Structure 1
Amino acid sequence: MATVPTFLAHGPWAREDVSVSWSDEAYVPEPATVEAADAAIAALKARSSPSHDGLSTRMARHRVDEHGRLHLDLQPIRWALRLLPGGAARSMTGQCVVRSHDGRWLAGRRAEWVATWAGRWTLGAGGAVDVGESPMRTLERELQEEWSVTAERIRGEALLLLPNEVVMFVGVAWLPPGAEVERDPEHDEHDWWPADIDAWPDHAEPSLRALARMIEAAG
């Protein structure tokens, strides 16, 4: 199994550069996978974490055309599959990295009760792509839901395949001068890390530094 993300496609993409088509047919996993997902949800409930199981989004196919535009074929999938270490079946998530007008990076520590990345620091906002939703819209929605703020501009950066078979659509949002964030209950602490990635605190994980360097390299 891979231990680092695989790049499926590179941006940058504006909103109009990302198109989606939807299948009405939901993804059907093997019975053993269903049992594993049931067990994962039960484990969340055992530690009093809201499960929110239901339908989410799976990427069936993708392509980049001759103009650099990204086209995604999506279908419904059970949300709980994203909890499986190697069986997420290309469930799709959006990760909106947030930068202030002067280049600082918004970092938040996930609360201990949440389903994913509990107790760990992340960059910006992130979450599952809802059924019927474009990943570009996911970035905007998660930014508003998690930090109660609207971006001055948002750009898609990359499509990644994570080691657990989750597909991550990465984008970056720039906030206007004077914008103030208000964290949601899924975060118990937040900070603005310096524009210089080398000056980040020790608790910034290597994967976050790598993600930020990828965004910087894209300009």
Structure 2
Amino acid sequence: MSYSPGILARGPWPLDRVSSRWTGATYQPSPEKDAAADRVIAELRDRGSPAHDGVAARLTQFSVRDGELALELEEMRWALRLIGDASGALSVLCVVRDHEGRWLAGRRAQWVASWAGVWALGAGGAVDVGEDAALALTRELQEEWSVEPERIQVEALLATPSDMTMLIGQAWLAPGAEVTRDHEHDAHAWWPSDPGDWPDDAHPQLQRMATLLSTDTPV
């Protein structure tokens, strides 16, 4: 299923109000898409990236009912998310804020598969096979920044122009919490609570998303 770009469902929801059901099916791309994914992986290897292919999640359906978000997922080739048409591949993004409302930003290393050399918010990545998508938010946060949130919620499900679907979460850290970046980032900073005060190299897409998230009060 292909989704029009934009917000598909708007929360917030506690993590236990977001469920994932794996269908047991595997998405079969066209030969052209498979070949495009092969080329992307080859290019990554040529520039020294350790990125490897594998299996991840694709969103097939979703529903919002009685204050709950339900996701239906199937397996798909991981590398398909890197081509121009991502075929509904599901990723998670957990934006991170400190007790003063500042935003954690990390500059992606030059060798990574996506957003190489670009500043990004928080932690994100693919949903592993069989994984609960909501719990992937906290997993990515631990893997990329070695920190546990004081509180966290799921904010939205959205679709990008490249036919990627994304589950967006927002986490808040306790006073005094310290982050340690992983090898996929070569720098990090705490950006001001007002996205309008962010540095010039902040991506406009991130500013728009942060502005939207700033309108909500944490649960």
Which TM-score band applies after superposition, normalised by the shorter structure? over 0.9
**Paired residue for 1:118, among 103, 116, 119?**
116
Q: Give CA-to-partner distance per residue, 1:114-155, whole Å, 9 cap, x none.
A: 000000000100100111111211110000000000001110
Q: Distance in 2 between matches of 1:142 and 1:5?
A: 24
SS at match of 2:125: strand
2:80 counterpart residue number: 81
Cα shift at 1:51: 2.2
Aligned to 2:152: 154
Alignment deviations for residues 62-81 of structure 1 (CA, whole Å, 9 cap, x no partner): 1111x231011101100000
Q: Are 1:26 and 2:54 an aligned pair?
A: no
Rounded to whole Å, the distance in 1 between the matches of 2:141 and 2:16 is 19
Which whole-Å CA distance do the structure 1 matches of 2:48 and 2:67 have between them? 44
- Structure 2 counterpart SS, 1:88: coil
Maintained 8 Å contact 1:19/1:72? yes
Q: Deviations over 1:70-107 (max 9, x none)?
A: 0111011000000001x211111000000001111000
Q: How many residues of Structure 1 are paired with residues of Structure 2 in the alignment?
A: 214
d(CA) in 1 for partners of 2:153, 2:133: 11
Distance 1:45 1:162, change over 3 A: same
Off by >3 Å, runs of 4+ in structure 1: none
TM-score scaled by structure 2? 0.95
* Contact 1:62–1:70, Cα closer than 8 Å, also in 2: yes
Is the CA contact (8 Å cut-off) linking 2:5 and 2:163 kept in structure 1?
no
- 1:5: Cα distance to partner? 4.2
Unmatched 5+ residue regions in structure 1?
Answer: none
Mapping of 1:87-102 within 5 angstroms? 87-102=85-100
Residue 83 of structure 1 aligns with an amino acid whose one-letter code is L
The answer (yes or no) to whether the contact 2:86–2:163 under 8 Å persists in 1 is yes
Percent identical:
53
CA distance in 1: counterparts of 2:59 and 2:5, whole angstroms = 16
CA distance in 2, matches of 1:83, 1:30: 15
**Superposition RMSD in Å:** 1.1
Alignment of 1:44-63 (within 5 A): 44-63=44-63
